[in-house]
């Protein structure tokens, strides 16, 4: 183990879980430990992080290592380039891969959503999200992946965690439907980006405690159209666009923005709507506490049955229950 103390303290460090450092993969960044009140070099840039390195951290109960802020881009590139391989590595336990999946997705989505998004989604960010979606779909098809991910599901609302969770639930249901790999990818991408248009809604409205005024509700209802316009310059298929544009449509025609009815709402979009409603109800918001799963499903079944597809509801319940999430 390298334990050379840093002579000069660099500007900043950010924490990373050791599980996000992949054995035998070359990283273009240095890794530090926090020891005795200082950052201490553990592995150098260009040095392989080995199984032995990981074992030492595990044995010593190290939960976080650190990377210099100036090497953040190299780290992110490393994660995104290796994610597909890592997620399908059967040598790694499913709960380890689930943690890798959730943390890697968080890094990308937080980076894209948590900053003030420009008027359009940048092609670079779109490519990163596309890669995450591609890398994770096969992993989500594995037995027990959903139940392993369940422990990471966040019940505190943030737009990016909500988008990730809607993606996870939706893809799990897509895989139980008659959908091609291409459709699952395109609609999975739509699920991941379904609320991107919220970046254009003032935060004072999105985070308002208490009930919204009529005009505030109308402003929020613009987010699906904003989402599509933010992505207009990107190479997106109609399937992906439909998911962003129509995820608030309801079977009885009372949804928005188009007031579509029944079969005119594509099946994958109905699945995303179900996942969206369920995640919203089971997550704490500024105006409501998180509901337990059974209560949320009961509310959907009793109070929302005219607007949602009850066949999709049954599939959704079956997927959650198969993953021990109820």
Q: Is 151 exposed, middle or buried (0-12, 13-18, 19+ CB in 10 A)?
A: exposed
How many Cβ atoms are within 10 Å of 182's Cβ, its own excluded? 10
Contact range with Fe ion by CB under 5 A, out of 131-139, 155-163, 188-196, 234-242: 188-196
DSSP E strand stretches across the chain: 13-16, 25-26, 31-35, 38-43, 48-49, 65-68
Q: CB-wise, 186 or 195, nearer to Fe ion?
A: 195
Q: CB-wise, 195 or 249, nearer to Fe ion?
A: 195
What's the rounded Cα separation, in Å, for the pair 91 and 72? Answer: 28
- The closest alpha carbon to 125, from 107, 152, 140, 139, belongs to 107
Q: Least distance (Å) from Fe ion to the CB of residue 203?
A: 15
Q: CB-wise, 128 or 226, nearer to Fe ion?
A: 226
Give the CB-nearest residue to Fe ion: 195
What's the rounded Cα separation, in Å, for the pair 69 and 254? Answer: 48
Q: CB-wise, 195 or 279, nearer to Fe ion?
A: 195
What's the rounded Cα separation, in Å, for the pair 65 and 31? Answer: 7
State how far Cα 162 lies from the chain centre. 7
Q: Least distance (Å) from Fe ion to the CB of residue 194?
A: 6
Q: CB-wise, 74 or 229, nearer to Fe ion?
A: 229
- The closest alpha carbon to 174, from 279, 319, 326, belongs to 319
Q: Least distance (Å) from Fe ion to the CB of residue 211?
A: 18
Q: Least distance (Å) from Fe ion to the CB of residue 219?
A: 13
DSSP class of residue 292 equals P
Q: Least distance (Å) from Fe ion to the CB of residue 13?
A: 35
Told to check if 195 binds Fe ion by CB under 5 A, we report yes
Contact range with Fe ion by CB under 5 A, out of 179-187, 192-200, 207-215, 236-244: 192-200
Q: Least distance (Å) from Fe ion to the CB of residue 258?
A: 14
Q: CB-wise, 195 or 309, nearer to Fe ion?
A: 195
Residue 277's H or E segment, with its range, is helix 267-281
Q: Least distance (Å) from Fe ion to the CB of residue 318?
A: 24
State how far Cα 30 lies from the chain centre. 27
Contact range with Fe ion by CB under 5 A, out of 110-118, 195-203, 259-267, 278-286: 195-203
Q: CB-wise, 79 or 281, nearer to Fe ion?
A: 281
Contact range with Fe ion by CB under 5 A, out of 67-75, 190-198, 235-243, 312-320: 190-198
First to last CA, the chain: 44
Size of the site for Fe ion (CB under 5 A): 1
Q: CB-wise, 6 or 225, nearer to Fe ion?
A: 225
Please report the DSSP string for 18-50 in residue order: GGGS-TTEE-SS-EEEEETTEEEEEE-TTSEE-
Q: Least distance (Å) from Fe ion to the CB of residue 266?
A: 16
- Residues forming contacts to Fe ion in the complex (CB under 5 A) are 195
């Amino acid at each position: 183990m390298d334990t050379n103390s840093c002579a000069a303290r660099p500007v900043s460090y950010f924490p990373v879980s050791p599980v996000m450092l992949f054995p035998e993969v070359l990283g273009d960044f240095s890794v530090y430990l926090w020891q005795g009140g200082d950052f201490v070099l553990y592995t150098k840039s260009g040095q392989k992080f080995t199984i032995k390195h990981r074992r030492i951290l595990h044995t010593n109960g190290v939960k976080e290592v650190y990377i210099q802020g100036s090497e953040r881009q190299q780290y992110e590139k490393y994660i995104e380039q290796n994610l597909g391989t890592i997620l399908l590595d059967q040598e790694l336990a499913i709960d380890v891969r689930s943690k890798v999946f959730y943390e890697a997705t968080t890094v990308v989505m937080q980076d894209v959503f948590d900053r003030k998004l420009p008027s359009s989604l940048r092609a670079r960010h779109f490519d990163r999200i596309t890669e995450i979606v591609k890398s994770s779909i096969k992993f989500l098809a594995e037995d027990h992946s959903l139940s392993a991910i369940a422990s990471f599901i966040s019940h505190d609302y943030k737009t990016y965690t909500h988008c990730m969770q809607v993606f996870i639930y939706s893809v799990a249901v897509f895989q139980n439907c008659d959908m091609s790999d291409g459709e699952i990818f395109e609609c999975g991408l739509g699920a991941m980006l379904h609320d991107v248009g919220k970046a254009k809604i003032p935060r004072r409205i999105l985070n308002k405690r208490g009930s919204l005024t009529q005009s505030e509700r109308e402003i929020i209802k613009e987010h699906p159209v904003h989402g599509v316009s933010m992505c207009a310059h990107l190479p997106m298929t109609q399937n992906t666009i439909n998911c962003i544009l129509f995820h608030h449509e309801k079977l009885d025609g009372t949804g928005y923005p188009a007031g579509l009815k029944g079969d005119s709402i594509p099946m994958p979009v109905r699945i995303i709507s179900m996942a969206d409603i369920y995640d919203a109800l089971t997550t704490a918001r500024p105006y409501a506490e998180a509901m337990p799963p059974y209560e949320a499903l009961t509310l959907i079944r009793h109070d929302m049955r005219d607007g949602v597809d009850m066949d999709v509801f049954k599939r959704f319940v079956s997927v959650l229950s198969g993953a021990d999430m109820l």
